[in-house]
């Protein structure tokens, strides 16, 4: 009897594939569970595509099937994890592609069932381009307010102040969705000699923070990080 040929998955390791908007690597981990052979697929995305979708799974599985042929037909399969190297802070992102309630659809199952579910869900994606547009819009609106405050708010309770800031944005994970987070650190420098008799640094900080909230052109969310510090200048 001819001995069954095991697929040489090691041939895939470290190779960079270019399919659709993706540059990615495929890693395969095999094992056993009773009589079943288990194959876990992990995908590492090296570029920043406009979106990450289930079509990535289709591309990757195409390469795997091409390599392994019918030797894998009786195995149990799963999409183990998907990582974007440029967005490593997000961690494993398959739940953000499918939605937290649907990610189990790509858990352990026969290859034919996995391929069928991939085809059914090809429209599912995590839209990076859209989130990055929202980040830029939110940053621009918040920056406009801060620049107005810099120009027009020069005293708090007769204490001279000046305002500086740093602002940036990044896609963040929130309730298993990709969210347009912004980080704003606003620093209020104040005349400490006058502040001693008129108002304390914490009062200055709280007043500026309240102004930011009252006049903010955007809604603040848990995935934002907006802070105010007060520092004396003499």
b/e burial code for range 184-196 (CB count within 10 A of at least 16 → b)? bebbbbbbeeebe
What does the domain layout of the chain look like in residue ranges? 9-125, 129-232
pLDDT beyond 70 at 45: yes
pLDDT beyond 80 at 192: no
Return d(Cα 125, Cα 52) in angstroms, integer: 5
Among 26-35, 172-181, 207-216, where is mean pLDDT lowest? 26-35
b/e burial code for range 27-61 (CB count within 10 A of at least 16 → b)? bbeeeeeeeeeebbbbbbbeeebebbbbbbbbbbb
Return d(Cα 116, Cα 118) in angstroms, integer: 5
Q: What is the pTM of this model?
A: 0.84
pLDDT-derived band at 196 (thresholds 50, 70, 90) equals: low
Please name which of 94, 90, 228 lies closest in space to residue 170, comparing C-alpha atoms.
Answer: 90
CATH 3.30.300 is held by the domain 129-232: yes
The per-residue pLDDT of the chain, averaged, comes to 89
Please give the structure tokens belonging to residue 96. 């953000």
């Amino acid at each position: 009897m001819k001995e069954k040929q095991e697929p040489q998955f090691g041939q895939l390791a470290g190779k960079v594939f270019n399919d659709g908007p993706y540059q990615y690597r495929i890693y395969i981990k095999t094992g056993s569970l009773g009589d079943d052979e288990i194959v876990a697929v992990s995908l590492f995305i090296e570029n920043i595509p406009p979106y990450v979708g289930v079509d990535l799974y289709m591309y990757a599985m195409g390469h795997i099937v091409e390599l392994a042929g019918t030797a894998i037909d009786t195995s149990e399969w799963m999409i183990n994890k998907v990582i974007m190297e440029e967005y490593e802070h997000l961690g494993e992102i398959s739940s953000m592609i499918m939605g937290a309630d649907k990610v189990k659809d790509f858990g352990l199952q026969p290859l034919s069932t996995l391929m069928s579910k991939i085809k059914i869900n090809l429209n599912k994606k995590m839209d990076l381009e859209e989130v990055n547009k929202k980040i830029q819009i939110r940053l621009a609106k918040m920056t406009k307010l801060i620049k107005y405050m810099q120009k027009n708010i020069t005293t708090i309770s007769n204490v001279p102040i000046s305002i500086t800031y740093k602002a940036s944005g990044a896609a963040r994970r929130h309730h298993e969705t990709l969210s347009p987070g912004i980080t704003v650190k606003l620093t209020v420098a104040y005349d400490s000699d006058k502040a001693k008799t008129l108002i304390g640094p914490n009062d200055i900080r709280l007043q500026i923070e309240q102004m930011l909230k009252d006049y903010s052109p955007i809604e603040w969310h848990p995935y934002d990080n907006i802070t105010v510090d007060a520092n004396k200048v003499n």
